A and B are shown apart, each in its own frame.
Chain A
Amino acid sequence: MNLLGKTTSLFAALLMLTGAAAFASDEPFAASITVYSPIVVTETAPMSFGLVTASPATQVVVVNSADAGAAAFDIAGQSGLAVTATVVEPSLALVSGGTTITVSNFTYGGALTGTGTASFSNQGALNNARVGASANIPANPAAGAYAGTLTFRVVYQ
């Protein structure tokens, strides 16, 4: 095979390879996922209605979210993200000596809006989230300490 013939073969091989490459197409695309910091809630104060004197009439004791008896929490999470905080239970029955006091009508304040929403700071902090409530005390309640547990839930919006 002369030089021209060899050159022919070389070109043919190159062009066939190039032609084969034209069969396929590639398209780059992005894949991504965002990982958020977990939300960490720390209770800094429990909800406390204080001392109440028994009465022959029913009573409603209200602790506003700004009151000293309100439950308070510090929350840590993903900076800049918004959250919604709620008390999971719609109400709580505190039972002692045959008397039931019902706690309900939870209210939100402090770092939270009235509907329980807020956003983490640039440092991922959300301190002094506060929860108030109402305690419905029946007439002539039994004397004693009434206590129970509520669940404060914080979720990313």
Chain B
Amino acid sequence: MKTSNLVPMTCWWLRLLSDQGTGIRFFLACLFLLTPNLYLSAQTISEESPLTFSPVLSQQKPQTVTLSPSDSGAAVFDVLGIPNRRVKVKVSPKKHATLRNGRSKAKITDYSFGGSVVDRGDYAIGTLDNSGRLNNIRVGATLRMPAQARSGRYSRILILQVDYKD
């Protein structure tokens, strides 16, 4: 059940248990609470493609693999929310996310952003358009492969977080 639906139900229930004056205060408080919940609705994020590094060969020395946001393997997302609002985009875990292949590991050391958002280092900033859309948010990353990495597929789930900026 969404919070916006919960508020009026809570009001109704409490008002039954209260005297008239308290009931009015509840009502006003619930209106206050209801307003931001309606206004600041959550965004809808659609994943268009996952983050997929190009295959690499196992090497004798550690290697750094960089996937640019403009590369075809970058993760791509579309966001739908409140028109013309600015949003802050980031990826969690922030750093040192570990991709695993059995007991073997490879660490993501950095993320980069592009497409419709501006990279600000650890996060990115974008603005929803007049229809509330912000398409083609692109996320790249830098990966540190250990020496003599075991062959196979290294993977994990990351989380894209989108917040209204203002």
Contacts and interface: CB of A to CB of B under 8 A. Distances in A.
A30 interface: yes
29 contacts: A8-B22, A8-B25, A15-B37, A18-B6, A18-B37, A24-B161, A24-B164, A27-B45, A29-B47, A29-B157, A29-B158, A30-B50, A30-B157, A31-B52, A31-B53, A31-B99, A31-B155, A32-B156, A33-B52, A33-B145, A33-B153, A33-B155, A34-B53, A34-B56, A35-B58, A35-B151, A37-B57, A78-B151, A156-B55
B124 interface: no
A4 B36 CA distance: 24
B152 A4 contact: no
A11 interface: yes
Interface stretch (B10-18, B115-123, B125-133): B10-18
A4 B151 contact: no
A11 B10 contact: yes
A7 B13 CA distance: 12
Given A31-B99, A35-B152, 16 more contacts: A4-B18, A11-B14, A12-B29, A18-B3, A19-B37, A24-B163, A25-B79, A26-B161, A28-B159, A29-B157, A29-B159, A31-B51, A32-B153, A34-B55, A35-B55, A38-B57
Q: Which 6 A-B pairs have the closest CB atoms?
A: A33-B53, A27-B45, A32-B155, A31-B51, A30-B50, A25-B43
Nearest to B146: A35
Interface string B35-76: 011001111111100111111111100000100000000010
B84 to A, nearest CB: 16
A22 interface: yes
Contacts of A36: 55-58, 151
Contacts of B44: 25
Interface of A: 4-5, 7-8, 11-12, 15-16, 18-19, 22-39, 78, 156
A16 B97 CA distance: 32
Contacts of B33: 12, 15-16, 19
A78 B56 CA distance: 12
A23 B164 CA distance: 6
A126 B53 CA distance: 27
Contacts of A78: 151
Nearest to A78: B151
B160 A27 contact: yes
Contact of A30 (B40, B57, B155, B164): B155
A24 B159 CA distance: 12
B113 interface: no
A28 to B, nearest CB: 5
A4 B25 CA distance: 11
Contacts of B160: 26-29
B150 interface: yes
